[in-house]
Chains A and B, each alone.
Chain A
Amino acid sequence: MVKKKGMRLSFCKGDMLVIFFVTMLAVLIGVVFLIWTGRDRGNTVVVYREGKKVQELPLYVDGEILIENSYTNKLVVKQGKAAIVESDCPGMDCVHSGWIQGKGRSLVCLPNRVEIRIEGEEESEVDFIVR
């Protein structure tokens, strides 16, 4: 039942290959994700609770809301960025994630099953040519 004879216990060349492979995979996924979401800054902050859209906030109007589910997240939108600044969830990863900006970026609070995502408004680009 025991098959540990062929096991290497010291770092070897194959491990470098593994590091290379995993890093390349990360870069690949990252690049694909960036291309997919584009360089658009977005204009709407959308709140999803358990996968369903529950609220939309304009990205360029400062404001804050409370998102309630199993826990409560306090979402702040300020100067085109969004962050969860307070939360009573365990771990508080969402708060530690800090401020996000740019279309496609998202904040996730897993215990609360909440995702906050920056999106572009549907097909109404003409309204927003501000330079």
Chain B
Amino acid sequence: MNRTKVNQITLCAILVSMALVLSYIEHFIPLQMLIPLPGVKLGLANIVTLMALFFLGTKSAFTILILRCILGSVFGGGISGLAFSLIGGICAMTVMYIFKNCKGISIYGVSMLGAAAHNIGQILVAIFLMGSVYVIGYLPYLLVVSVFTGLATGSICAGVFRILKTNTQITQN
């Protein structure tokens, strides 16, 4: 009992740091040169949310999400950055939680839905922060982009999950 608890905490900590590193690395991927829209990114940290959701359960996934958003804003995102990542992240997690046990959808679909939800959440924050409804004009573009970024992160997740499937040590938690 005690052992699994320690395992869980350690795994959470590792996932938080992984998420932070992934969102840092993301800055170096010049996706915005390709698609010049505010808020466009690969969403690599979503991989961690998906992993946590599947391997550690909803409660830990939520904790990891909150921690990585707060720490991320400390390392350079600021308060408005916190609002964006937190609301976007919570939206993505909620949608992925709803659809993760949906039988007809694979990890690719779940990931795409998560990316789309993340963008919708971010647009909502932008509407609130900018005090302007016109920001919605960006949403169609962001949604189309989220199909592709969702597929990309989904394929990474599929690869990671395949490897982890053979490793019973982690799944035992």
**Could you tell me which A residues sit within 8 Å of B by CB distance?**
1-4, 6-15, 17-19, 22-23, 25-27, 29-30, 33, 37, 48, 50-52, 91, 93-94, 96-98, 104-106, 108-111, 113, 115, 117
Report yes or no: B140 in contact with A8, Cβ–Cβ below 8 A: no
Report yes or no: A110 in contact with B80, Cβ–Cβ below 8 A: yes
The B31-49 residues at the A interface (CB cut-off 8 A) are 32-33, 36-40
> Which of chain B's residues have a CB closer than 8 A to the CB of A2?
54-55, 57, 171-173
Q: Which of B15-23, B66-74, B86-94, B103-111 contacts A (4 or more CB under 8 A)?
A: B103-111
Report yes or no: A110 in contact with B57, Cβ–Cβ below 8 A: no
Bound-complex Cα distance A1 to B7 (A)? 13
Report yes or no: B143 in contact with A29, Cβ–Cβ below 8 A: yes
> Which of chain B's residues have a CB closer than 8 A to the CB of A17?
104-105, 109
Bound-complex Cα distance A94 to B37 (A)? 8
Report yes or no: B132 in contact with A94, Cβ–Cβ below 8 A: no
A103 → chain B, closest Cβ, in Å?
A: 10
B interface: dominant SS: helix
A-B contact pairs, 11 of them (CB 8 A): A4-B55, A14-B109, A15-B108, A17-B109, A29-B136, A33-B137, A93-B38, A104-B137, A110-B38, A113-B130, A117-B132
B76 → chain A, closest Cβ, in Å?
A: 8
Chain B, interface residues (CB within 8 Å), range: 35 or more
B108 → chain A, closest Cβ, in Å?
A: 5
> Which of chain A's residues have a CB closer than 8 A to the CB of B14?
none
- Decide yes or no whether B152 CB sits under 8 A from chain A: no
The B86-145 residues at the A interface (CB cut-off 8 A) are 100-109, 112-113, 116, 126, 129-132, 134-141, 143-144
Bound-complex Cα distance A87 to B156 (A)? 35
A65 → chain B, closest Cβ, in Å?
A: 19
Report yes or no: A113 in contact with B129, Cβ–Cβ below 8 A: yes
Report yes or no: B131 in contact with A50, Cβ–Cβ below 8 A: yes
Q: Which of A1, A13, A23 contacts B147 (CB 8 A)?
A: A23
Bound-complex Cα distance A17 to B147 (A)? 12
Report yes or no: A9 in contact with B106, Cβ–Cβ below 8 A: yes
Q: Which of A4, A14, A22, A96 contacts B33 (CB 8 A)?
A: A96
B117 → chain A, closest Cβ, in Å?
A: 10
Bound-complex Cα distance A113 to B54 (A)? 37
Report yes or no: A51 in contact with B132, Cβ–Cβ below 8 A: yes
- Decide yes or no whether B62 CB sits under 8 A from chain A: no
Report yes or no: A11 in contact with B106, Cβ–Cβ below 8 A: yes
B2 → chain A, closest Cβ, in Å?
A: 16
B27 → chain A, closest Cβ, in Å?
A: 9
Closest 7 CB pairs of A and B: A51-B131, A14-B104, A96-B36, A30-B140, A8-B106, A26-B143, A15-B109
